[in-house]
């Protein structure tokens, strides 16, 4: 049994890797920071392969798949991603395009490539790490929210295709709220709501993934927020989100 996890050098990705290793899965761990990735090896009980690559480069994404194609990946965790805060007309366009490459294009391509292999053997799990942001508008983090909505919508659509084909391949979408990870530092934000631990999120997410749950929201507070948002207009949601983002 083997799992491939992107963004595995810290945060949710690292916590998922540790939990899957404890369950007996060999690991292929992917990240852009070699030193941080190598520093995690001591945390695992099973065989580990490290891959240092840049997921904002589509050629490197394809090369990652080719490098791992013969590893018989049973679980794909698309966790790599980052955010950026600021008014849309003021944020760095090149950084946002890089975000789209990592948060959307890499997720899209890896999901498609590994999904085809899983369908052939009629077994496998894909966990796309999105965010509670996928369900709302995101003034001051417009591009990040939009990228997370993409991975959410993509996962739901693929889920229905697999269900109708009676496939034994399962896809889930993890949508956490604030989590205590390195994301805050990269995005230059401080959450107004206290974050939950990445270890808790990882265990909850993997357990629900194995139960074939489609949308995984690992917090009662975030579940309530998602429920309430259904009864509020998009404009009102955007105004509320702006006030929350402004506090960051």
Per residue in 98-127, pLDDT (tens digit) is: 999 999 999 999 999 999 999 999 999 999
> What is the value of pTM for the model shown?
0.88
At 107, which CATH number?
3.40.50.720
Q: Is the pLDDT of residue 242 over 70?
A: no
What's CA 176's distance to the chain center, in Å?
A: 9
- List the 48-52 sheet strands across, edge first: 48-52, 26-31, 2-6, 75-78, 124-129, 169-174, 215-216
Give pLDDT, residue 187. Answer: 46
Number of H helices and E strands in the chain, helices first, is 10, 7
Average pLDDT over residues 234-242: 67
The rounded mean pLDDT for the chain is: 90
pLDDT, tens only, 44-65:
999 999 999 999 999 999 999 9
Residue 240 class from Cβ within 10 Å (0-12 exposed, 13-18 middle, 19+ buried)?
A: middle
pLDDT for residue 136: 85
Q: Is the pLDDT of residue 247 over 70?
A: no
Domain that holds residue 8: 2-246
* Enzyme catalytic residues: 144
Higher pLDDT, 227 or 108: 108
The pLDDT-based confidence of 28 (bands split at 50, 70, 90) is very high
Q: Read out DSSP for 126-161?
A: EEEE--GGGGS--TTSHHHHHHHHHHHHHHHHHHHH
Q: Supply 115's token pair.
A: 């999904």
Residue 199: strand, helix, or coil: helix
Q: What is the predicted pLDDT for the residue at 246?
A: 65
- Please state the domain count of the chain: 1
Q: Of 134-138, 155-159, 193-197, 228-232, where does mean pLDDT reach its minimum?
A: 228-232
Residue 179: per-residue pLDDT:
83
The CA angle 31-32-34, to the nearest 5 degrees, is 90
d(CA 128, CA 80): 9
Nearest to 99 by CA among 133, 55, 131: 55
- First-to-last alpha carbon distance for the chain, in angstroms, is 41
Residue 182 in this model has a pLDDT that exceeds 80: no
- Helix (H), strand (E), coil (C) string for 14-80: HHHHHHHHHCCCEEEEEECCHHHHHHCHHHCCCCEEEEECCCCCHHHHHHHHHHHHHHCCCEEEECC
> 82: helix, coil or strand?
coil
Q: Render pLDDT for 120-174 as a digit per residue (tens, 0 to 9).
A: 999 999 999 999 998 888 899 999 999 999 999 999 999 999 999 999 999 999 9
Residue 211: left (phi > 0), alpha (psi -120 to 50), or beta? alpha
């Amino acid at each position: 049994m083997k799992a491939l996890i992107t963004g595995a050098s810290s945060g949710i990705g690292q916590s998922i890797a540790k939990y899957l290793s404890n369950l007996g899965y060999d690991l292929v761990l992917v990240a852009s920071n070699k030193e941080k990735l190598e520093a995690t090896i001591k945390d695992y009980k099973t065989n580990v392969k490290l891959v240092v690559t840049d997921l904002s480069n589509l050629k490197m994404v394809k090369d990652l798949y080719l490098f791992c194609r013969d590893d018989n990946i049973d679980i794909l965790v698309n966790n790599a991603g980052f955010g950026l805060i600021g008014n849309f007309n003021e944020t760095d366009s090149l950084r946002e395009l890089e975000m789209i490459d990592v948060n959307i294009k890499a997720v899209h391509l890896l999901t498609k490539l590994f999904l085809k292999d899983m369908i052939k053997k009629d077994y496998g799990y894909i966990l796309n790490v999105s965010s509670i942001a996928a369900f709302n508008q995101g003034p001051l983090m417009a591009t990040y929210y939009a990228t997370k909505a993409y991975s959410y919508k993509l996962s739901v659509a693929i889920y229905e295709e697999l269900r109708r084909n009676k496939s034994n391949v399962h896809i889930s979408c993890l949508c956490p709220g604030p989590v205590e990870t390195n994301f805050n530092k990269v995005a230059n934000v401080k959450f107004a709501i206290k974050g939950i631990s990445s270890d808790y999120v990882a265990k909850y997410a993997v357990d629900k993934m194995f139960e074939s749950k489609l949308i995984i929201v690992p917090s009662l507070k975030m579940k309530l927020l998602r429920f309430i948002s259904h009864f509020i207009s998009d404009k009102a949601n955007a105004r509320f989100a702006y006030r929350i983002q402004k506090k960051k």
